[in-house]
């Protein structure tokens, strides 16, 4: 596993960005896409249909873009079957393994901003009510989801390394290190 200071063995053409909700996966994917001329496919847009319903063509759409030669996307929906499609094709995985205080504050700011600005996300969907962020029984409580999945990638990465030895993994442990790594890639 590489760190922010280690050089990449080569310039990849297919990249996965892993991390907990609120870590900045989509933002980094957009930046890398622009920097390396990779098509960014936002995987949430493939998954969520109108009214937050899962799209029935989700896995077919993932297969279609994964078969392309140049892309970057967020490594999500692993329980929905994306692992067997994306990881074998990817060349680089970037793991945003940031401190809790960083990801929590980012998630709160993002959620409130989207709600206040009524930002359209995917297929006509908008952020669900801020009030759900503070209810323990809310199914769509994004803060609770983040807490429950906070250590998912820490637990998964040893298996990922074993199952996908072709995959170069870069672990970035703070936004400052990510910025330093991005400058080195430019």
| Cα torsion through 67, 73, 75, 80, rounded to 10 | -60
pLDDT for 134:
62
Distances (CA, A) of 53 to 20, 45, 58, 122, 125: 22, 11, 11, 11, 10
pLDDT for 131:
60
pLDDT for 135:
59
Supply φ then ψ for residue 105, to 5 degrees.
-65, -40
Provide the whole-model pTM. 0.87
Give the 3-state secondary structure percentages of the chain, helix then strand then coil, rounded to 5. Answer: 50, 15, 35
Q: What is the pLDDT of residues 80-123, one digit of tens each?
A: 889 899 999 999 999 999 999 998 888 888 878 877 777 778 78
* Tally of CB atoms within 10 A around 158: 10
Average pLDDT over residues 142-161: 85
Looking up tokens 């323990």, which residue turns up?
136
pLDDT at 133 over 80: no
Q: For the chain, give every domain's residue range.
A: 14-185
Record: fold of 14-185: Rossmann fold (3.40.50)
Average pLDDT over residues 145-150: 79
Quick one: pLDDT band at residue 14, thresholds 50, 70, 90?
Answer: very high
The strand pairing partners of 18, in sequence order, are: 95
pLDDT for 132:
61
Q: Going along the chain, which residue ranges are E strands? A: 14-19, 39-40, 71-74, 92-96, 168-172
Average pLDDT over residues 41-59: 92
Task: Specify the length of the chain in residues.
Answer: 186
C-beta separation of 99 from 105 below 8 A: no
């Amino acid at each position: 596993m590489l760190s922010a200071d280690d050089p990449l063995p080569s310039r990849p053409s297919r990249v996965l960005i892993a991390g907990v909700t609120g870590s900045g996966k989509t933002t980094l994917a957009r930046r890398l896409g622009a920097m390396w001329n990779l098509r960014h496919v936002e995987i949430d847009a493939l998954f969520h249909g109108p009214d937050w319903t899962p799209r029935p063509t989700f896995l077919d759409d993932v297969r279609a873009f994964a078969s392309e030669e140049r892309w970057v996307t967020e490594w999500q929906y692993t329980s929905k079957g994306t692992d067997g499609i994306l990881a074998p094709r990817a060349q680089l995985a970037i793991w945003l393994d940031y401190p809790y205080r960083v990801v929590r504050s980012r998630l709160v700011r993002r959620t409130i901003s989207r709600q206040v600005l009524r930002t359209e996300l995917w297929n006509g969907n908008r952020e669900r009510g801020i009030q759900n962020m503070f209810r323990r029984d809310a199914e769509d409580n994004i803060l609770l989801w983040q807490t429950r999945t906070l250590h998912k990638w820490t637990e998964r990465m040893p298996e990922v390394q074993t199952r996908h030895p072709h995959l170069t993994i870069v672990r970035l442990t703070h936004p400052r290190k990510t910025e330093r790594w991005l400058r080195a890639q430019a």
